[in-house]
Amino acid sequence: MVRDFEHFIAVDWSGAQGEWHRAITMAVAHRDGGPPVLVERRKGWSREEVLAVLRDEMPDNALVGLDLGIALPFADHGAFFPGWERSPADAKALWALIDSICEGDPHLSASSFVDHPQASAYFRRHGGREGARFGGGRGRFRVAESAQALMGCKPYSNFNLVGAAQVGKSSLTGMRVLHRLEGKVPVWPIDPLPLDGPVIVEIYTALAAMAAGRSASRSKIRSWEELDAGLAHLGSPPLGRSGGVDDHATDALVSAAWLRKVAGDVALWSPAGLTPLIARTEGWTFGAA
């Protein structure tokens, strides 16, 4: 089944400390055409604000892409946290565990989870602190991240919290948001694609950039001129601006235009590696073949 969406919303996420974040950006493209547009806040977005928008303000026919990992690796060891008795059975239980442990953390951050006496053993943290169960090397990967690698990307393990390109902190804070949606917005493929109403998918902005004519190693766009060239690849009108631009904004804008272009592709909703078990535990990255 493929839905006929009208609104295509992309959110570039951040797991950084603090309340307001310039790195959190939101863009919207409409089915009827026109270039994607940024939805801006004077101080930047907070995670709580994005949660409120997702929970209370989504149009019924919106496809929302969140640039974060919606779960942790499970399939490689048959558990998120092998050897820990509190290891959850599926993604929704994982979200609940993280949110419960981090209940006292402000601004939907996740510091208490990564510093938890048992959970910390599975993460690589700053200061050379690699947990005994991290696994070494680049860490553990989900099946969807292995699919990303086959497409030419270089994904990072969600258990890695070190380095400018790490996505672990973003993913953990994002899982707190997903839990607090309280089932009001389905998260595909952990939830089945609904017949109506908004739906959230995980996106990886590098995939959108590659569809916009960029390479995986040059996925970041930092000028309006380069952005317009990428939008042309996606069948989108240009924004017609010039000069430099923050790559968080371009990530969101390109991703919104990309979602509009590819949301009707049946194959993207039924990738070969997406088994019922993977859907329930690890989820998937929309667009990963």
According to the model, what pLDDT value does residue 14 have?
93
**pLDDT band for position 2 (50/70/90)?**
confident
- Note whether 70 and 188 are within 8 A (CB): no
C-alpha dihedral sign at 208, 161, 92, 179 = negative
- 63-84: average pLDDT: 98
**166 or 52: which carries more pLDDT confidence?**
52
Statement: residue 1 has pLDDT above 70 = no
- 74-80: average pLDDT: 98
Give buried/exposed letters for 39-53 (b at 16+ CB in 10 A, else e): eebeebbbbebbbeb
C-alpha dihedral sign at 52, 56, 57, 63 = positive
Residue 117 burial (CB count, 10 A): 6
According to the model, what pLDDT value does residue 84 have?
98
Angstrom distance (rounded) from CA 141 to CA 210: 21
- Note whether 122 and 133 are within 8 A (CB): yes
- Note whether 180 and 187 are within 8 A (CB): no
Q: pTM of the prediction?
A: 0.96
Please name the helix (run of DSSP H) or strand (run of DSSP E) that holds residue 200, with its range, or none.
strand 199-202
Q: Which tokens in the block code for residue 158?
A: 């969600």
Q: Give the domain extent around 27.
A: 1-289
Report the domain count for the chain: 1
- Length, in residues, of the chain: 289
Average per-residue pLDDT in the chain? 96
- 209-216: average pLDDT: 95
**pLDDT band for position 128 (50/70/90)?**
confident
Q: Using one digit for the tens of pLDDT, what is the confidence trace for 232-276? A: 999 999 999 999 999 999 999 999 999 999 999 999 999 999 999
Between strands 199-202 and 62-67, the pairing is parallel
Nearest to 281 by CA among 70, 50, 53, 24: 70
Please name the helix (run of DSSP H) or strand (run of DSSP E) that holds residue 224, with its range, or none.
helix 224-233
Statement: residue 161 has pLDDT above 80 = yes
Angstrom distance (rounded) from CA 225 to CA 223: 5
Angstrom distance (rounded) from CA 286 to CA 67: 10
